Structure 1
Protein backbone atom coordinates (compact mmCIF):
# COMPACT_ATOMS: atom_id res chain seq x y z
CA UNK A 1 0.00 0.00 0.00
CA UNK A 2 2.79 2.43 0.89
CA UNK A 3 4.29 2.13 -2.61
CA UNK A 4 0.94 2.98 -4.22
CA UNK A 5 0.55 6.03 -2.01
CA UNK A 6 4.10 7.17 -2.81
CA UNK A 7 3.45 6.62 -6.53
CA UNK A 8 0.24 8.62 -6.31
CA UNK A 9 2.01 11.48 -4.54
CA UNK A 10 4.28 11.74 -7.59
CA UNK A 11 1.45 11.29 -10.09
CA UNK A 12 -0.41 14.12 -8.38
CA UNK A 13 2.31 16.65 -9.23
CA UNK A 14 1.46 17.23 -12.92
CA UNK A 15 -2.26 17.11 -12.12
CA UNK A 16 -1.94 19.76 -9.42
CA UNK A 17 0.32 21.78 -11.72
CA UNK A 18 -2.34 21.81 -14.46
CA UNK A 19 -4.98 22.73 -11.93
CA UNK A 20 -2.76 25.54 -10.67
CA UNK A 21 -2.29 26.88 -14.20
CA UNK A 22 -6.06 26.88 -14.71
CA UNK A 23 -6.63 28.49 -11.31
CA UNK A 24 -4.43 31.41 -12.38
CA UNK A 25 -7.32 32.66 -14.53
CA UNK A 26 -10.37 31.80 -12.41
CA UNK A 27 -10.61 35.16 -10.64
CA UNK A 28 -10.75 36.96 -13.99
CA UNK A 29 -13.18 34.44 -15.49
CA UNK A 30 -15.61 35.02 -12.63
CA UNK A 31 -15.57 38.81 -12.99
CA UNK A 32 -13.37 39.33 -9.92
CA UNK A 33 -16.01 38.25 -7.42
CA UNK A 34 -14.90 38.98 -3.87
CA UNK A 35 -16.05 35.65 -2.41
CA UNK A 36 -13.64 33.67 -4.61
CA UNK A 37 -10.71 36.04 -4.04
CA UNK A 38 -9.26 34.06 -1.08
CA UNK A 39 -8.95 30.94 -3.24
CA UNK A 40 -7.43 32.27 -6.46
CA UNK A 41 -4.78 34.88 -7.32
CA UNK A 42 -6.27 38.36 -7.49
CA UNK A 43 -3.14 40.05 -8.80
CA UNK A 44 0.38 39.27 -10.01
CA UNK A 45 2.17 39.43 -6.63
CA UNK A 46 4.29 36.45 -5.67
CA UNK A 47 2.15 35.88 -2.56
CA UNK A 48 -1.04 35.64 -4.60
CA UNK A 49 0.66 33.11 -6.87
CA UNK A 50 1.33 30.81 -3.92
CA UNK A 51 -2.43 30.16 -3.99
CA UNK A 52 -1.75 28.20 -7.20
CA UNK A 53 -0.07 25.55 -5.04
CA UNK A 54 -2.18 25.90 -1.89
CA UNK A 55 -5.64 25.06 -3.23
CA UNK A 56 -4.60 22.15 -5.52
CA UNK A 57 -2.66 20.59 -2.63
CA UNK A 58 -5.62 20.90 -0.27
CA UNK A 59 -7.95 19.45 -2.90
CA UNK A 60 -5.67 16.52 -3.74
CA UNK A 61 -5.03 15.50 -0.14
CA UNK A 62 -8.68 15.75 0.90
CA UNK A 63 -10.05 13.90 -2.14
CA UNK A 64 -7.35 11.24 -1.98
CA UNK A 65 -7.83 10.69 1.73
CA UNK A 66 -11.58 10.23 1.47
CA UNK A 67 -11.29 8.04 -1.64
CA UNK A 68 -8.52 5.73 -0.37
CA UNK A 69 -8.38 5.94 3.43
CA UNK A 70 -9.90 2.49 3.92
CA UNK A 71 -8.41 0.81 0.87
CA UNK A 72 -4.83 1.86 1.69
CA UNK A 73 -5.26 2.16 5.47
CA UNK A 74 -4.06 5.75 5.39
CA UNK A 75 -2.90 7.06 8.75
CA UNK A 76 -4.90 10.25 9.26
CA UNK A 77 -2.32 12.07 11.39
CA UNK A 78 0.57 11.24 9.05
CA UNK A 79 -1.49 12.12 5.98
CA UNK A 80 -2.52 15.56 7.16
CA UNK A 81 0.94 16.25 8.58
CA UNK A 82 2.24 15.46 5.10
CA UNK A 83 -0.29 17.87 3.61
CA UNK A 84 0.87 20.63 5.95
CA UNK A 85 4.51 19.89 5.11
CA UNK A 86 3.80 19.94 1.38
CA UNK A 87 1.92 23.24 1.64
CA UNK A 88 4.63 24.96 3.69
CA UNK A 89 7.50 23.59 1.58
CA UNK A 90 5.73 24.40 -1.71
CA UNK A 91 4.95 27.98 -0.69
CA UNK A 92 8.45 28.52 0.67
CA UNK A 93 10.09 27.00 -2.43
CA UNK A 94 8.03 29.21 -4.74
CA UNK A 95 8.91 32.39 -2.85
CA UNK A 96 12.62 31.56 -2.41
CA UNK A 97 12.99 30.42 -6.03
CA UNK A 98 11.30 33.57 -7.35
CA UNK A 99 13.38 36.01 -5.31
CA UNK A 100 16.60 34.10 -5.97
CA UNK A 101 16.31 33.90 -9.74
CA UNK A 102 14.74 37.33 -10.26
CA UNK A 103 17.29 38.88 -7.90
CA UNK A 104 20.19 37.35 -9.82
CA UNK A 105 18.83 38.09 -13.29
CA UNK A 106 17.25 41.42 -12.42
CA UNK A 107 13.80 40.64 -13.83
CA UNK A 108 11.27 37.86 -13.91
CA UNK A 109 10.03 35.74 -16.79
CA UNK A 110 6.60 34.17 -17.19
CA UNK A 111 7.92 30.76 -18.25
CA UNK A 112 10.30 30.62 -15.29
CA UNK A 113 7.44 31.61 -12.98
CA UNK A 114 5.31 28.81 -14.41
CA UNK A 115 8.21 26.41 -13.89
CA UNK A 116 8.46 27.59 -10.27
CA UNK A 117 4.95 26.25 -9.63
CA UNK A 118 5.96 22.83 -10.95
CA UNK A 119 9.22 22.90 -8.99
CA UNK A 120 7.52 23.96 -5.76
CA UNK A 121 4.90 21.21 -6.04
CA UNK A 122 7.64 18.66 -6.74
CA UNK A 123 9.75 19.71 -3.75
CA UNK A 124 6.65 19.88 -1.55
CA UNK A 125 5.48 16.41 -2.53
CA UNK A 126 8.93 14.88 -2.04
CA UNK A 127 8.99 16.40 1.44
CA UNK A 128 5.48 15.14 2.15
CA UNK A 129 6.38 11.64 0.96
CA UNK A 130 9.35 11.61 3.31
CA UNK A 131 7.20 12.59 6.29
CA UNK A 132 4.47 10.11 5.39
CA UNK A 133 6.91 7.26 4.78
CA UNK A 134 8.65 7.89 8.12
CA UNK A 135 5.21 7.99 9.77
CA UNK A 136 6.15 11.35 11.20
CA UNK A 137 3.12 13.20 12.42
CA UNK A 138 1.74 15.83 14.69
CA UNK A 139 -1.74 15.64 16.22
CA UNK A 140 -4.49 16.01 13.62
CA UNK A 141 -5.88 19.06 15.36
CA UNK A 142 -2.49 20.80 14.98
CA UNK A 143 -2.22 20.05 11.25
CA UNK A 144 -5.77 21.13 10.50
CA UNK A 145 -5.54 24.20 12.74
CA UNK A 146 -2.31 25.26 11.04
CA UNK A 147 -3.92 24.91 7.62
CA UNK A 148 -6.95 26.92 8.75
CA UNK A 149 -4.69 29.64 10.17
CA UNK A 150 -2.80 29.76 6.88
CA UNK A 151 -6.08 30.02 4.96
CA UNK A 152 -7.22 32.82 7.29
CA UNK A 153 -3.91 34.55 6.55
CA UNK A 154 -4.63 34.19 2.81
CA UNK A 155 -8.02 35.85 3.33
CA UNK A 156 -6.48 38.67 5.35
CA UNK A 157 -3.63 39.29 2.88
CA UNK A 158 -6.00 39.15 -0.08
CA UNK A 159 -8.08 42.04 1.22
CA UNK A 160 -5.61 43.96 3.40
CA UNK A 161 -2.03 42.93 2.57
CA UNK A 162 1.08 44.18 4.31
CA UNK A 163 2.81 46.83 2.24
CA UNK A 164 5.93 44.84 1.44
CA UNK A 165 7.25 43.54 -1.88
CA UNK A 166 5.91 40.01 -1.33
CA UNK A 167 2.35 41.34 -1.64
CA UNK A 168 2.98 44.00 -4.30
CA UNK A 169 1.71 43.61 -7.86
CA UNK A 170 4.39 45.33 -9.93
CA UNK A 171 2.25 45.10 -13.09
CA UNK A 172 -0.63 47.08 -11.58
CA UNK A 173 1.43 49.03 -9.01
CA UNK A 174 -0.86 48.09 -6.14
CA UNK A 175 -1.08 45.80 -3.14
CA UNK A 176 -4.60 44.44 -2.93
CA UNK A 177 -7.23 43.37 -5.36
Structure 2
Protein backbone atom coordinates (compact mmCIF):
# COMPACT_ATOMS: atom_id res chain seq x y z
CA UNK A 1 0.00 0.00 0.00
CA UNK A 2 1.19 3.49 -0.84
CA UNK A 3 0.44 6.64 1.11
CA UNK A 4 -0.34 9.94 -0.54
CA UNK A 5 0.89 13.31 0.65
CA UNK A 6 -1.52 16.18 1.24
CA UNK A 7 -0.24 17.73 -1.99
CA UNK A 8 -1.14 14.56 -3.89
CA UNK A 9 -4.62 14.44 -2.33
CA UNK A 10 -5.37 18.15 -2.85
CA UNK A 11 -6.38 17.91 -6.56
CA UNK A 12 -8.96 15.25 -5.65
CA UNK A 13 -10.49 16.90 -2.56
CA UNK A 14 -13.43 18.34 -4.48
CA UNK A 15 -14.17 14.94 -6.01
CA UNK A 16 -13.86 13.27 -2.61
CA UNK A 17 -16.20 15.84 -1.07
CA UNK A 18 -18.79 15.35 -3.83
CA UNK A 19 -18.73 11.59 -3.26
CA UNK A 20 -19.34 12.16 0.43
CA UNK A 21 -22.17 14.66 -0.01
CA UNK A 22 -23.87 12.41 -2.55
CA UNK A 23 -23.23 9.49 -0.21
CA UNK A 24 -25.01 11.29 2.61
CA UNK A 25 -28.26 11.35 0.65
CA UNK A 26 -27.82 7.97 -1.05
CA UNK A 27 -27.07 6.14 2.20
CA UNK A 28 -29.94 7.92 3.95
CA UNK A 29 -32.31 7.09 1.09
CA UNK A 30 -31.23 3.46 1.03
CA UNK A 31 -31.64 3.36 4.80
CA UNK A 32 -35.26 4.42 4.41
CA UNK A 33 -35.80 1.61 1.90
CA UNK A 34 -33.98 -0.85 4.18
CA UNK A 35 -36.41 -0.04 6.97
CA UNK A 36 -39.40 -1.34 5.01
CA UNK A 37 -37.83 -3.79 2.53
CA UNK A 38 -38.33 -6.91 4.65
CA UNK A 39 -42.05 -6.22 5.05
CA UNK A 40 -42.32 -5.49 1.33
CA UNK A 41 -40.72 -8.89 0.63
CA UNK A 42 -43.56 -10.58 2.50
CA UNK A 43 -41.26 -11.26 5.47
CA UNK A 44 -39.20 -13.71 3.42
CA UNK A 45 -36.79 -15.18 5.98
CA UNK A 46 -33.83 -15.90 3.63
CA UNK A 47 -33.24 -12.17 3.12
CA UNK A 48 -33.76 -11.30 6.77
CA UNK A 49 -30.00 -11.05 7.32
CA UNK A 50 -29.89 -8.02 5.02
CA UNK A 51 -32.90 -5.99 6.12
CA UNK A 52 -34.44 -4.96 9.45
CA UNK A 53 -36.80 -7.79 10.51
CA UNK A 54 -38.36 -5.99 13.47
CA UNK A 55 -38.26 -2.64 15.28
CA UNK A 56 -35.53 -3.52 17.77
CA UNK A 57 -32.56 -1.24 18.36
CA UNK A 58 -30.24 -3.92 17.02
CA UNK A 59 -32.13 -4.45 13.77
CA UNK A 60 -31.93 -0.74 13.05
CA UNK A 61 -28.16 -1.14 12.70
CA UNK A 62 -28.81 -2.83 9.36
CA UNK A 63 -30.42 0.38 8.14
CA UNK A 64 -27.11 2.16 8.75
CA UNK A 65 -24.61 -0.62 8.05
CA UNK A 66 -25.56 -2.32 4.78
CA UNK A 67 -26.44 0.80 2.74
CA UNK A 68 -23.17 2.43 3.85
CA UNK A 69 -21.15 -0.69 3.06
CA UNK A 70 -22.67 -0.96 -0.42
CA UNK A 71 -22.00 2.70 -1.15
CA UNK A 72 -18.45 2.50 0.21
CA UNK A 73 -17.69 -0.51 -1.98
CA UNK A 74 -18.68 1.49 -5.06
CA UNK A 75 -16.96 4.63 -3.79
CA UNK A 76 -13.76 2.69 -3.22
CA UNK A 77 -13.46 1.90 -6.92
CA UNK A 78 -13.05 5.61 -7.61
CA UNK A 79 -11.39 6.94 -4.45
CA UNK A 80 -9.22 4.14 -3.04
CA UNK A 81 -6.06 5.24 -4.87
CA UNK A 82 -6.71 8.95 -4.30
CA UNK A 83 -6.95 8.81 -0.51
CA UNK A 84 -5.14 7.37 2.50
CA UNK A 85 -6.30 4.39 4.55
CA UNK A 86 -9.64 4.13 2.76
CA UNK A 87 -10.64 0.85 4.38
CA UNK A 88 -9.61 1.97 7.87
CA UNK A 89 -11.58 5.21 7.51
CA UNK A 90 -14.69 3.33 6.44
CA UNK A 91 -14.31 0.79 9.26
CA UNK A 92 -14.20 3.64 11.77
CA UNK A 93 -17.30 5.31 10.33
CA UNK A 94 -19.43 2.16 10.13
CA UNK A 95 -18.80 1.66 13.86
CA UNK A 96 -19.18 5.33 14.77
CA UNK A 97 -22.79 5.53 13.62
CA UNK A 98 -24.10 2.52 15.60
CA UNK A 99 -22.31 3.67 18.75
CA UNK A 100 -23.82 7.14 18.49
CA UNK A 101 -27.19 5.67 17.54
CA UNK A 102 -27.23 3.47 20.65
CA UNK A 103 -26.20 6.41 22.83
CA UNK A 104 -28.88 8.72 21.45
CA UNK A 105 -31.57 6.04 21.53
CA UNK A 106 -31.00 5.04 25.12
CA UNK A 107 -30.71 8.67 26.20
CA UNK A 108 -33.94 9.81 24.55
CA UNK A 109 -36.04 6.68 24.91
CA UNK A 110 -34.48 5.30 28.05
CA UNK A 111 -34.44 8.55 30.00
CA UNK A 112 -37.64 10.10 28.68
CA UNK A 113 -39.59 7.12 27.31
CA UNK A 114 -40.19 9.07 24.11
CA UNK A 115 -40.52 7.39 20.71
CA UNK A 116 -41.29 9.18 17.47
CA UNK A 117 -40.78 8.08 13.84
CA UNK A 118 -40.06 11.61 12.62
CA UNK A 119 -37.43 12.10 15.32
CA UNK A 120 -35.89 8.72 14.40
CA UNK A 121 -35.69 9.84 10.77
CA UNK A 122 -34.08 13.17 11.69
CA UNK A 123 -31.53 11.39 13.87
CA UNK A 124 -30.71 8.95 11.06
CA UNK A 125 -30.24 11.85 8.63
CA UNK A 126 -27.97 13.66 11.10
CA UNK A 127 -25.90 10.55 11.87
CA UNK A 128 -25.48 9.73 8.19
CA UNK A 129 -24.20 13.25 7.58
CA UNK A 130 -21.83 13.01 10.53
CA UNK A 131 -20.61 9.65 9.28
CA UNK A 132 -19.79 11.15 5.89
CA UNK A 133 -18.10 14.19 7.43
CA UNK A 134 -15.84 12.03 9.59
CA UNK A 135 -15.04 9.80 6.62
CA UNK A 136 -14.09 12.82 4.49
CA UNK A 137 -11.83 14.19 7.22
CA UNK A 138 -10.10 10.84 7.71
CA UNK A 139 -9.49 10.37 4.00
CA UNK A 140 -8.05 13.84 3.37
CA UNK A 141 -5.83 14.26 6.44
CA UNK A 142 -2.11 13.80 6.83
CA UNK A 143 -1.01 10.31 7.82
CA UNK A 144 0.61 9.94 11.23
CA UNK A 145 3.85 7.91 11.56
CA UNK A 146 2.17 5.03 13.39
CA UNK A 147 -0.12 4.43 10.40
CA UNK A 148 2.87 4.09 8.10
CA UNK A 149 4.58 1.73 10.52
CA UNK A 150 1.54 -0.49 11.08
CA UNK A 151 -0.24 -0.07 7.76
CA UNK A 152 -0.68 -3.80 7.09
CA UNK A 153 -2.08 -4.70 10.54
CA UNK A 154 -4.38 -1.66 10.42
CA UNK A 155 -5.67 -2.66 7.00
CA UNK A 156 -6.30 -6.26 8.06
CA UNK A 157 -7.83 -5.12 11.34
CA UNK A 158 -10.22 -2.82 9.50
CA UNK A 159 -11.35 -5.63 7.21
CA UNK A 160 -11.84 -7.95 10.19
CA UNK A 161 -13.81 -5.32 12.12
CA UNK A 162 -16.15 -4.69 9.19
CA UNK A 163 -16.62 -8.45 8.76
CA UNK A 164 -17.29 -9.02 12.47
CA UNK A 165 -20.16 -6.54 12.49
CA UNK A 166 -21.61 -8.13 9.35
CA UNK A 167 -21.43 -11.60 10.92
CA UNK A 168 -23.08 -10.39 14.13
CA UNK A 169 -25.89 -8.75 12.19
CA UNK A 170 -26.51 -11.97 10.28
CA UNK A 171 -26.27 -14.33 13.26
CA UNK A 172 -28.52 -12.28 15.54
CA UNK A 173 -31.15 -12.00 12.82
CA UNK A 174 -31.87 -15.70 13.15
CA UNK A 175 -30.72 -16.30 16.73
CA UNK A 176 -31.33 -13.13 18.74
CA UNK A 177 -30.52 -13.00 22.43
CA UNK A 178 -33.63 -12.32 24.49
CA UNK A 179 -32.54 -9.02 25.96
CA UNK A 180 -33.79 -5.46 25.51
CA UNK A 181 -31.35 -4.66 22.71
CA UNK A 182 -32.96 -7.25 20.41
CA UNK A 183 -36.58 -6.81 21.48
CA UNK A 184 -39.11 -5.69 18.87
CA UNK A 185 -40.45 -2.17 19.60
CA UNK A 186 -38.19 -1.41 22.55
CA UNK A 187 -40.50 1.13 24.20
CA UNK A 188 -43.55 -1.16 24.29
CA UNK A 189 -41.85 -4.30 25.71
CA UNK A 190 -43.53 -6.77 23.37
CA UNK A 191 -41.45 -9.81 24.29
CA UNK A 192 -40.96 -10.48 20.56
CA UNK A 193 -37.57 -11.19 19.00
CA UNK A 194 -36.08 -12.08 15.63
CA UNK A 195 -38.00 -12.47 12.39
CA UNK A 196 -41.63 -11.41 12.61
CA UNK A 197 -44.30 -12.07 9.95
CA UNK A 198 -45.26 -8.39 10.12
CA UNK A 199 -44.51 -5.37 12.28
Contact 1:93–1:123 under 8 Å retained in 2: no
> How many pairs does the alignment contain?
173
TM-score of the two chains, using structure 2 as the length reference: 0.79
1:36 corresponds, among 47, 51, 60, to 47
* Cross-structure match for 2:57: 46
* Cross-structure match for 1:100: 107
Q: Secondary structure, in 3 states, of the residue corresponding to 2:58?
A: helix
Q: Tell me how far apart the structure 2 counterparts of residues 104 and 118 of structure 1 sit (CA, whole Å).
A: 22
Q: Secondary structure, in 3 states, of the residue corresponding to 2:82?
A: coil
* Structure having the higher Rg: 2
Task: Report 1:121-160 matches (<5 A).
Answer: 121-134=128-141, 139-160=154-175
Structure 1 residues 69 and 125: CA distance shift in structure 2, 3 A: closer
Deviations 1:73-124 (A, max 9, x none): 334x611111111110111121111111113332211111111211221222
Instruction: Single out whichever of 131-140 and 37-46 deviates more from structure 2.
Output: 131-140
Contact 2:23–2:71 under 8 Å retained in 1: yes
TM-score of the two chains, using structure 1 as the length reference: 0.88
1:65 corresponds, among 76, 82, 91, to 76
Contact 1:168–1:174 under 8 Å retained in 2: yes
* Cross-structure match for 1:167: 182
- Alpha-carbon distance, 1:132 to partner: 1.4
RMSD: 1.9
Contact 1:102–1:108 under 8 Å retained in 2: yes
- Alpha-carbon distance, 1:27 to partner: 0.7
* Cross-structure match for 1:176: 194
- Alpha-carbon distance, 1:69 to partner: 3.9
Kindly indicate whether structure 1 or structure 2 has the higher relative contact order, using CA contacts under 8 Å at least 6 residues apart. 2
